[in-house]
Amino acid sequence: MKTHVISVENHDDYISINDKIIWAKSPRILLVWPDHGRVRMLMSDLILIIRKAESVGSQIAVVCDESDIVDLCKQVNVSVFSSIPEAQKHAWRRPKKTRRLIRRSLASGNDTRLTELEKLKQKDIWLLPNWLRIFVFLLSLISVFSLIALFIPSAEIILEPKTIPQQINISIWANPNVQTVNLSGAVPIKKIPIVVQGSIIQKSTGVERVPTQFATGIVEFRNLTNRKIEIPTGTVVRTIGDELVRFVTTKASSLEAGIDTKISVPVTAINAGADGNVQANQIQAIEGEIGGNVVVNNPTALSGGVETKVTAPSTLDYEQARIKLLDQLNNEVKDEFLQEDQSDLFLLLDELTKLDEVLIEKLNPEVGIPSDQFELTMEVRYLVSYLSLTDIRSISTQSLITNLDSGFSLLPETLIIQQEGTPQINSNTEEVQVDITVYQQAIQVIPENEILDQITGQSIDSAAENLAKKFESVTINIQPGFVKRLPLLAFRIKVGIDENGS
């Protein structure tokens, strides 16, 4: 078992030794007396040390060779050893009970300090005469019954408040420039963006000419030099003027040496269509390296270029389709808006719903591309205008409060707003005017503190009579039932509302 060793110094007394015992925190405590010098110790000191050890759950033993200390320890049955190793090897005796030691010490009268302490404990503290004790006892009974009379009775008062209907007519006017609700009837127009998309397919009504055949003919090259000129296949010749028409040779040729030698070469228009049908003497330019040594001309007209008429979407086709598609999307905006949470919607202003921005617009095919039909796809954003139910409730409540009787408050769950007639909407100025009728119940306010001040301590009948003058009905329940008056303490009275009645 763990043993804590405490070295006792010459200057120690039972107080300092007890402090060391408190800090020891061990089941066994060994007090070791000093080898030199003396420690003064009385029976009362040793008893107090034993008591302190017992209070912290420890057992004590002593290592000492002083005869007076050894004798004291034997009297209280505390083990005494000659050395620390001996104390750790042998079993320790349990000290005698401290109460028995105190009685024995008192009987001997040797320890005056212990005698005075014990006598003070045993001294009778009731020094009052008998008649005063009886008076104090009766006074205590009266106090107890007084407290019972104050705190035990409790009362519950159930009141049914009066209710009165409230009604008011309000002319609402709204426009986007109004920012907040005010009592003059102005409310803001709310706007929410809604994105919709759709497409439309229609027949093409435009007509386009599509080149289908190439113009052909003969051109004549004339040599301007004294050397032979080679004219390869694919040599480009063209007309002159604002609108150039190009042709290519379809056969390689050789222009003999000598000034003004000539050769005729077949050509074909580079682009199909009627533009290649040029008159005689219109082709006069050569593109390429030989252009400075040779001149060209078409002695006869070129022909054979043909264009075929086909249908294709025109600009007008797409403009008309755009109008039709936007009209369809405008109708879809309302359905899209109503599919969202509309708990705050009071009035949807269809006339003020406007196109805000075209986000995507696709033409398939483009204008002028041959096709019997075309498709227009659009994604657009609209601004949907409406009047907020929150704003209408706010202005309705404010208007009712200004006309409310004193001592009443509005019941929020009874608010009813009814639109009167058709709203007047100006699409140009975006101003809206609408008339509404507002209905709401007002309930009597119950001033609990004021009621308690008036009825505390009154009889049940008197309190009920006074309260009946102000409220629809009054019910008073008091506990215990034999008490005929309301409690004197206000906190013992509970005031409630008859919700079923109101």
Angle at which helices 98-108 and 112-122 cross, to 10°: 110
Query: pLDDT tens, 4-22?
Result: 899 999 888 888 988 888 8
For CATH 2.40.30, list the domain ranges present in the chain: 208-308
Tell me the mean pLDDT in the region 100-121. 51
Q: State yes or no: pLDDT of 255 exceeds 50.
A: yes
List the beta strands (DSSP E) in 151-231. 154-160, 163-175, 186-188, 190-203, 206-213, 216-223, 229-231
Q: Given pLDDT bands bounded at 50, 70 and 90, which one contains residue 128? A: low
Question: What length is written for the chain?
Answer: 502
Interatomic CA distance for residues 451 and 493, integer angstroms: 10
pLDDT of residue 104: 59
Q: State yes or no: pLDDT of 142 exceeds 90.
A: no
pLDDT of residue 323: 94
- Sign for the pseudo-dihedral over CA of 430, 436, 441, 447: positive
pLDDT of residue 419: 92
pLDDT of residue 448: 86
Q: State yes or no: pLDDT of 479 exceeds 90.
A: no
On whether the CB atoms of residues 336 and 196 are closer than 8 A, the answer is yes
Interatomic CA distance for residues 465 and 30, integer angstroms: 83
Structure tokens at 276: 């290649």
Interatomic CA distance for residues 433 and 497, integer angstroms: 42
Task: Say which range, 68-77, 107-116, 153-162, 321-330, has the weakest mean pLDDT.
Answer: 107-116
Interatomic CA distance for residues 287 and 345, integer angstroms: 75
Q: Given pLDDT bands bounded at 50, 70 and 90, which one contains residue 119? A: very low
In this prediction, what percent of the chain has a pLDDT beyond 90? 41
Structure tokens at 143: 């106090």
pLDDT of residue 292: 83
pLDDT of residue 224: 92
Q: Which CATH class is domain 3-122?
A: alpha beta
Residue type, 367: V
Query: pLDDT tens, 337-347?
Result: 888 878 899 99
Q: Given pLDDT bands bounded at 50, 70 and 90, which one contains residue 120? A: very low
Query: pLDDT tens, 365-391?
Result: 999 899 999 999 999 999 999 999 999
Q: State yes or no: pLDDT of 31 exceeds 60.
A: yes
- Please compute, for residue 223, the number of CA atoms within 13 A of its CA located in the half-sphere on the CB side: 18
Query: pLDDT tens, 60-88?
Result: 999 998 888 888 888 888 999 989 889 88
Residue 348: name the closest of 364, 359, 361, 333 by CA: 333
Q: Does domain 208-308 have CATH number 2.40.30?
A: yes
On whether the CB atoms of residues 313 and 306 are closer than 8 A, the answer is no
Task: Say which range, 233-237, 239-243, 249-253, has the weakest mean pLDDT.
Answer: 239-243
Q: What is the mean pLDDT of the chain?
A: 86
For CATH 3.30.750, list the domain ranges present in the chain: 3-122
Q: State yes or no: pLDDT of 101 exceeds 60.
A: no
Q: Given pLDDT bands bounded at 50, 70 and 90, which one contains residue 306? A: very high
On whether the CB atoms of residues 379 and 336 are closer than 8 A, the answer is no
Mind giving me the DSSP string for 416-451? EEEEEEEEEEETTTTEEEEEEEEEEEEEE---HHHH
Angle at which helices 43-55 and 98-108 cross, to 10°: 170
Q: State yes or no: pLDDT of 123 exceeds 50.
A: no
pLDDT of residue 290: 85
Sheet holding 493-497, edge to edge: 473-479, 154-160, 493-497
* β-strand pairing of 28-32 with 3-7: parallel
Contacts of 492 (CB under 8 A, 6+ apart): 151, 153, 154, 155
Angle at which helices 460-468 and 448-455 cross, to 10°: 140
Q: Given pLDDT bands bounded at 50, 70 and 90, which one contains residue 150? A: low
Query: pLDDT tens, 268-284?
Result: 999 999 999 999 999 99
pLDDT of residue 109: 54
Q: Given pLDDT bands bounded at 50, 70 and 90, which one contains residue 288? A: confident
In this prediction, what percent of the chain has a pLDDT beyond 70? 91
pLDDT of residue 324: 95
> Is 127 or 251 the better-scoring residue by pLDDT?
251
pLDDT of residue 102: 54
Q: Which residues pair with 264 in a beta bridge?
A: 220
Mind giving me the DSSP string for 63-117? E---HHHHHHHHHTT--EESSHHHHHHSPPPPPPPHHHHHHHHHHHT--HHHHHH
Task: Find the farthest-apart pair of alpha carbons in the chain and give their distance in angstroms, rounded.
Answer: 172
Q: What is the value of pTM for the model shown?
A: 0.51
pLDDT of residue 103: 57
